[in-house]
Chains A and B, each alone.
Chain A
Amino acid sequence: MSLSKDDITHVANLAHLEVSEDEKDAYLGQLQSIFGHMETLNSIDLSDVKPTTHSIDVATPLRDDVVVVQDDLFLAQNAPDWDGQGFRVPKIR
């Protein structure tokens, strides 16, 4: 199955990533070659294999429901637009 430029446009939209036409052209060849390499996985029978989602088997650890007071998080310093109580962003159009 071959990747198209429309695929890149669609995926870039999903990922909220602006990609220029020049970048799409550059990526197309590279991505086709990378995905071509992934086709090797089709040569193996994986029908009876269980997927691995974690390297190690751990149960989710729990902690006591205790309030933790946090240090100054440098919100104002790191924020592009902080109004003292919240992060200001452009309107959703």
Chain B
Amino acid sequence: MSSSPNPMTLSALTLAKQIASGKVSSVQLVEQALATIDAVEPKVNAYNEVLRDFALEKAAAVDAKLKKGEPVSPLAGVPISIKDNMNLRGFKTTCSSKILENFVSPYTATAVSRVLDHDLVPVGKVNMDEFAMGSSTENSAFKKTSNPWKLSAAPGGSSGGSAASVAAATVPLSLGSDTGGSIRQPASFCGLVGVKPTYGRVSRYGLVAFASSLDQIGPFARNVDDAAALLGVISGYDPHDSTSLNIPVPNYSALLGRDIKGLRIGIPNQLVNDITESGVAEAFYAALDHLKNAGAIVDTVDMNSFDHGLATYYILAPAEASANLSRFDGVRYGYRDKTADNLRDMFKKSRGHGFGSEVKRRIIIGTYVLSSGYYDAYYLKAQKMRTIVRDDFNRAFSRFDVLLSPTAPTTAFDLGSMEDPLTMYKSDVATIPVNLAGLPGMSIPCGYSNGMPVGLQVIAPSFKEDVMFQVGHAYQQLTSFHHDIPSLVKELA
């Protein structure tokens, strides 16, 4: 199976149909995925671990099922990568941290179980910013992942490995996680579709927690239809996660192909007034023109709360993280410093030496804002600000069906170029409010600036992922950015 184009540049649904019809086997596809990984990994470094034997066994099992004529899901047999903060029993889950470098998962995350039950084939665990804290994947304790579009550039973060593994055509799908933009921003930087669902849609059981009121698992794909299909696979109530929604999973693909005439699109002024990279603004406005030509009605809207989104997030998320990461104490699992001769020192040294500097920075911020004397000044204010952000969105959604913005104010920055943490935080200014309000958001490729992909963010009201996908699908009928492939991949053929 070596004909070009590389099959992993095709749509996952197309590949699944080819497998179901016998045109190609899942084993052949997985072999192709593994061969591509071998070819590109020296340059891209997306994978923490490749699950060679596991993937081939699973693929063979899927092929056997098909041979017997058993019914399979619409994505059966398709290879997928999994961000390394989701547990898969029997394999390492490291969160790209020294603290979990050798930790073997004793259980499987619900989202990953659903992927397996639907006969997709996980081929590897992919790199990320340590404990999902970061916007470039440079905070990984293990290695830097490169953007397949330009190897000196970052793939974004914290799901940079997920984005790079799909953009480099090793797999057509990946599962990532998003707390402040960690799926959407890397999708934007790598020219892919990335989706954060409504909070509670996808079970967080088995996802190593960063900020529990903000975290969500979501799909990376090459196009909207694939993303909708994968979201359908992983969504649904899970008794193991008390924050998962006990409501039926809709058919996310139901509105794909429905026209967008009369659809009301709002553009938050706060997210377009300060775009520093002019190419990003151009690509964004060109995208709006396409949507207007398709009949959508576009208008601007003031979302004043967005001016305080960053401050709110960087109080709440570190606060929740400081609580969630307190379990890493070297007692039952993970890195333990062996030089300490008393328990307290063991905790301090294990955590102090095991965590990287960004993680420690956020634990310090989080502990500070929750500490006696400061709780009201910071944490309580941020929780109130969260109400204001949600109210702002509710107001906007009484006038509009979806809100659109550039996903990030710039295209992918160079590795090593962001020394100041606060500057790095600012790359999430458009994505953060969506997590604060628990809404669904998606990034889709909408062009290029300085040769690098630009992402268009679509935000929908709670539970309206189908409308979000409808808009994305309509846009992808009018453009071909989602078919583009980095030259790194073209050169392999």
Contacts and interface: CB of A to CB of B under 8 A. Distances in A.
B383 A27 contact: no
A58 B333 contact: no
Contacts of A46: 381, 384-385, 388
A49 B387 contact: yes
B383 A51 contact: yes
B13 to A, nearest CB: 30
B332 interface: yes
A44 B361 contact: no
Interface residues of B, number: 76
Contacts, number: 178
Contacts of A7: 368
A73 to B, nearest CB: 4
Contacts of A81: 336
A2 interface: no
Nearest to B322: A15
Nearest to B304: A44
Interface in A65-93: 71-75, 77-81, 87, 89-93
B133 to A, nearest CB: 13
B131 interface: no
Nearest to B107: A71
A50 to B, nearest CB: 6
A55 B199 contact: yes
Interface in A11-27: 11-12, 14-19, 23, 26-27
Nearest to B388: A49
Nearest to A18: B352
A17 B383 contact: no
Interface in B436-483: 437-438, 462
Contact of A58 (B245, B326, B387): B245
Interface stretch (B45-53, B65-73, B136-144, B338-346): B338-346
B105 to A, nearest CB: 8
A68 B332 CA distance: 21
A56 B364 CA distance: 28
Contact of A16 (B338, B348, B385): B348
Contacts of A77: 104
Contacts of B357: 23, 26
Contacts of A15: 322, 326, 351, 363-364, 367
A41 B104 contact: no
B17 interface: no
A30 B357 CA distance: 12
Interface string A23-42: 10011001101110110111
Nearest to A7: B368
B28 interface: no
Contacts of B331: 80, 87, 89
Contact of A56 (B200, B310, B388): B200
B342 A56 contact: no
A81 B340 CA distance: 14
B306 to A, nearest CB: 12
A42 B349 CA distance: 36
Nearest to B348: A18
Interface of chain A: mostly helix, strand, loop or mixed: loop
| Size bracket, chain A contacts | 35 or more
Contact of A61 (B246, B312, B388): B246
A14 B371 contact: yes
A52 B352 contact: no
B84 interface: no
A24 to B, nearest CB: 10
B360 interface: yes
Contact of B330 (A26, A72, A80, A93): A80
Interface of B: 89, 102-104, 106-107, 198-200, 213-214, 239, 242-243, 245-246, 307-308, 310-312, 314-315, 322, 326, 329-336, 338, 340-349, 351-353, 355, 357, 360-361, 363-365, 367-368, 371, 377-378, 380-388, 390, 420-422, 425, 437-438, 462
27 contacts: A11-B364, A14-B367, A15-B326, A16-B329, A16-B347, A17-B360, A26-B357, A30-B361, A34-B314, A34-B422, A37-B422, A38-B311, A38-B315, A40-B311, A41-B315, A41-B382, A44-B388, A46-B388, A51-B386, A58-B245, A72-B106, A73-B106, A74-B106, A78-B333, A81-B336, A90-B343, A93-B343
Interface of A: 1, 3, 7-8, 11-12, 14-19, 23, 26-27, 30-31, 33-35, 37-38, 40-42, 44, 46, 49-56, 58, 60-61, 63, 71-75, 77-81, 87, 89-93
CB-based closest 10 A-B pairs: A55-B438, A18-B352, A51-B383, A93-B342, A80-B336, A55-B199, A78-B333, A16-B347, A52-B386, A49-B384
Given A49-B387, A80-B330, 19 more contacts: A1-B377, A17-B360, A18-B352, A27-B361, A27-B364, A34-B314, A37-B310, A44-B308, A44-B385, A50-B384, A51-B384, A54-B243, A56-B245, A58-B200, A60-B242, A73-B106, A77-B104, A80-B334, A93-B341
